[in-house]
Amino acid sequence: MTEPREDTRTHRGVVIPDNWPGYCLDLFTYPEYYSGDLDCVYIPHGVIMDRTERLARDIMDDLGDHDIAVLCVLKGGHQFCSDLVDRIQVLNRHSSRSLPMTVDFIRLKSYLNDHSMPDIQVIGAESLSVLAGKNVLIVEAIVDTGKTLQTVLTQVQACKPKLIKVAG
């Protein structure tokens, strides 16, 4: 009997072992002002952009022709969100179908004068009412403990969107 094949859509993605030394700096060019600060490169920019394009394709496949409201969590999510939206727009231009998008921004504040606050403040939450009945894609740079993401999810769910997906 053969083993069942793993579904690639549920795969964890790129896995970097804890003891992996990274790529040698001699393989890359980087600004001189980083000289002495870098030991290695763990994930080259090209790999990140390739994964971003794959994610854009997955979003297009999942949402079909349904419009989407992208909610970018600032400040950290800005560049990733920009790259992801750009990739979706390129795919839209080269596709027979289209995924209409709007992009909105919120910012989370969990520190006051370098001290962590017990509650996370959502700046820009007053404009979230436009998400009612829409497909929402929350774009976050890093999901660590999940505390900030849970706060955003609670705020967005209160607006009663049709669907919520998270990219981070």
Q: Which residues are catalytic?
A: 144
* Buried residues in 79-91 as b, exposed as e (16+ CB within 10 A): ebbebbbebbeeb
Separation CA 128–CA 83 (nearest Å):
23
Other CB atoms within a 10 A radius of the CB of residue 59 amount to: 21
Q: Which of 27, 55, 53, 57 is nearest to 40 (CA)?
A: 27
Q: Is residue 77 classed exposed, middle or buried when 0-12, 13-18 and 19+ CB atoms within 10 A define those classes? A: buried
Cα separation values, 110 from 77, 105, 116, 122, 149, Å: 16, 17, 6, 9, 12
- Are the CB atoms for 124 and 154 separated by under 8 Å? no
